[in-house]
Structure 1
Amino acid sequence: MKKLMLLGGLRYLLPVIEEAHKLGVYVITADYLPNNIAHKYSDEYCNVSIIEKDAVLKAAQELQIDGILSHAVDPGVVSAAYVAEKMGLPFQCSYEAARILQDKSLFRKFLTEHGFNCPKAKGYNNIEDALKDTAYFNWPVIVKPVDSAGSKGVTKVENKENLRNAIETALSSSLSKHFIIEDFLDKVGAQSSADIFTVDGKLVYPAYSDQLFDKNAANPYTPAIEIWPASMEQKFQDDLTAQLQRLFTLLGVKSGIYNVESRVCSDGKAYIMEVSPRGGGNRIAELQDMATGQDLIVNEIKKALGMPLDNITVPEYDGVWCNYILHSSKEGTFVSIDINPEFKRKYVRDVGLIVSPSDHIVPFTGANTSLGTLFLRFDTREEMTNALSHDRDWLKINVE
């Protein structure tokens, strides 16, 4: 029986565990939080910090694993790539490529050096150095941790006097205590966040979405709605696919899933914003599998274990799909969500609630403060737009 190690213990791993078990795979989940939910469903739990790559390697060698993934778990990606390389196991890319992709500062540097569209950006580990550098940027700017996901620690800064606070916010969400400042790119239309798949370095499954935000949320830069297929003009999608293929060729990648964020900006150019060798959070791969009839999660497991992959092709969508991120605008005690029964019957394909009645909840500042997800399917974009613009008519989140 093949052994698969999954780094992390979040709910996002449950479908991976389920599909792995269907393939007859023994699943080991690993992190330093034994009460995380995924450990209840795996075959074995390994207590190790997933950011300590040598500790993960030692555990993986002792357990004699056949494959490793950090699906939808950003902090474990570099360790997973390191372990795979040291043990000769399949992974999306080399350890060095994973380091570049996972560090926003290194990634911006790589993009700039190779002539990709890229905002002016600079990485720092010292607040004072950054405060002396304000003339380098075209304001406003975005301040981010170099190593966080889910919009944690991200702030748009309009005025230089607010820069210090934004940096402190970024540092509070950074494991490495490094941050990046970059020019704010004024986007046209919606940003895209989607999972893609390569086979032997070739991008065979390019995907794009519309990522929308709740301007009234505690953090207005946290994705609140994701829609497939994207409304982005096809010429920009084709341009981004070509840019991604060039990036993957330069990095010498192999086979596997990647989460990609991209956008078209007011300068008429398409930009790759982030590429991570893992499945995205917010159950993106699950929704895309449901919407396209392909199996990204199954094939990611097969890839990790060196098993033959299915025929993965350019996605075609069965209707218009929406990942609606459930969230609260206020702090309090969660009571329930109420969905209009007729709306639920017609449009809701999955309810993924991750909180329980009496749980304490906080305002929406990042993916880690969501209440869960709704997968919605519509026949037309117009039907979906109408439903989303009247969401208070069919959805009520009850908080005391």
Structure 2
Amino acid sequence: MPVRVVVLGGRANILEGTHGLGLDTVLIHREGGYEPRAAQLTERIVHADLGDYALLEKIVRDLHAERPFARVLSLTEDCLVPAAQLNEALGLGGNSVASVRLLKDKVAMRGHLAERGISPVRWRVVDGLDATVRFLGEVGDRIIIKPVDGAGSESVFPIAGEQEARAAWELLGERPMLAEEFLRGTELSVETFSHAGRHVVITSTDKVLSPGLVEIGHTIPSRVDLDGTGIADLVHRFLDAVGIVEGPAHTEVILGPAGPRIVESHNRIGGGSLRELIQLAYGIDLARWAASVPLGLEPGPAEPPAMRHGAAVRFLTARPGIIQRFDGVAEAAADSDITVHLTAKPGDRATPLRSSHDRTIGFVIGRGVDAADAAARCEAARDRIDVVTAAD
């Protein structure tokens, strides 16, 4: 009888992996929140409020009593903690709830690292304008404030003075935020896969950031030497410190004058088409591994994989307004190694770029002989596309 698993939320990427492995998969998702093809990739789909843990536990326990599950899986941010809770409740193994919560709670993570002398960064929890201005005065330079449990660059504000702090808090309202010193340097992410507590670096990612610090491009592998800069060692020590033992992780790092510093981390595949980029560059499907390796169906990676190609993605941006048309798409798609994906259509609204959730227009993705070639080809394709908008 096939091995049976639960998947909480997310996209069809992990379902493609479990289906390809011959697993019986139960998807629990909010109604209308999944792609139609999910029905062909699963044993059944159960509709539920993914934010109601008591309901999720009842559903899973009842289904588990009918026929046991081997693991509860998720690669979507809001379901990482519930998946760990369910695995712990049913004794199925995986990353501990404490470890996953440490990655989710950025304040707890900073305190945890400070206690162990890992990646020192000046930080404080602030609850309004006055506390933010005081911390800015103590740091004496720029700071950044962000949600204590956010992701996707949402509600992240660089602050250099009281005026910027005031504008940020007018948008934020009353809630605690994490304030940190602004780390200057090269920002990149490190994509790892862990099995039985052993971590292997799969690749690293150079980022292209908007003025508001939203990621609008990724290139792999990074130009930065992970070993020579100490980044690889730091990421290994970090994952050990927070207790990650299995699955993919996406760890953001800034390499500055004082060395590398951890920004944040998530026990999932990074967003922004990183799964697809890793497939293009290495021929590896991390979503499949997220299911197969913990269940012993495939071996975990023993060492970093060899690069086959460089790979890059660049997201399309536009002046806010109503999209009228897309010019230059055919010219952009003329490169056989580049694919253009339009995720918006004429009549849709192009919104201001405040977080990764606002990258709704489309993107170009592809490969090259190396990372620089892939980036250059993607940027050339992106620059051929003109998203024409009109004010509404």
TM range (shorter): 0.7 to 0.9
In 1, the alpha carbon distance for the partners of 2:303 and 2:326 equals 40
Distance 1:139-1:124 versus aligned 2 partners, 3 A rule: same
1:327–1:369: 8 Å Cα contact kept in structure 2? no
2:216–2:314: 8 Å Cα contact kept in structure 1? yes
Distance 1:259-1:213 versus aligned 2 partners, 3 A rule: same
2:87–2:93: 8 Å Cα contact kept in structure 1? yes
1:327–1:363: 8 Å Cα contact kept in structure 2? no
Greater CA deviation, 303-312 or 23-32? 303-312
Structure-2 residue corresponding to 1:292: 282
Distance 1:386-1:303 versus aligned 2 partners, 3 A rule: closer
In 2, the alpha carbon distance for the partners of 1:128 and 1:307 equals 54
Q: 1:167 Cα deviation (Å)?
A: 3.8
Greater CA deviation, 281-290 or 43-52? 43-52
2:218–2:272: 8 Å Cα contact kept in structure 1? no
1:192–1:208: 8 Å Cα contact kept in structure 2? yes
2:70–2:295: 8 Å Cα contact kept in structure 1? yes
Greater CA deviation, 141-150 or 308-317? 308-317
Structure 2 residue corresponding to 1:99, chosen from 83, 86, 101 = 101
In 1, the alpha carbon distance for the partners of 2:328 and 2:222 equals 29
Structure-2 residue corresponding to 1:315: 305
Structure-1 residue corresponding to 2:248: 257
Distance 1:147-1:236 versus aligned 2 partners, 3 A rule: farther
Structure-1 residue corresponding to 2:347: 358
Structure-2 residue corresponding to 1:111: 113
- What is the identity, as a one-letter code, of the residue corresponding to 2:34? I
Structure 1 unpaired stretches of 5+:
none
- What is the identity, as a one-letter code, of the residue corresponding to 1:232? V
Q: 1:154 Cα deviation (Å)?
A: 0.5
Q: How does 1:239-278 map to 2 (within 5 A)?
A: 239-265=230-256, 267-278=257-268
Distance 1:382-1:151 versus aligned 2 partners, 3 A rule: closer
Structure-1 residue corresponding to 2:145: 143
Answering whether residue 200 of structure 2 is matched by residue 210 of structure 1, we say no
In 1, the alpha carbon distance for the partners of 2:70 and 2:106 equals 30
Structure-1 residue corresponding to 2:365: 375
- What is the identity, as a one-letter code, of the residue corresponding to 1:227? T
Structure 2 residue corresponding to 1:41, chosen from 33, 38, 42 = 38
In 2, the alpha carbon distance for the partners of 1:41 and 1:358 equals 28
Q: 1:352 Cα deviation (Å)?
A: 4.0
- Taking structure 1 as the reference length, what is the TM-score of the superposition? 0.85
In 1, the alpha carbon distance for the partners of 2:181 and 2:384 equals 39
Structure-2 residue corresponding to 1:227: 219
In 2, the alpha carbon distance for the partners of 1:121 and 1:352 equals 39
Structure-2 residue corresponding to 1:81: 84
Q: 1:195 Cα deviation (Å)?
A: 2.5
Q: 1:126 Cα deviation (Å)?
A: 6.0
- Taking structure 2 as the reference length, what is the TM-score of the superposition? 0.86
- What is the identity, as a one-letter code, of the residue corresponding to 1:23? L
In 2, the alpha carbon distance for the partners of 1:337 and 1:7 equals 39
Structure 2 unpaired stretches of 5+:
none
2:351–2:358: 8 Å Cα contact kept in structure 1? yes
Structure-1 residue corresponding to 2:124: 122
1:208–1:230: 8 Å Cα contact kept in structure 2? yes
Q: 1:398 Cα deviation (Å)?
A: 4.0
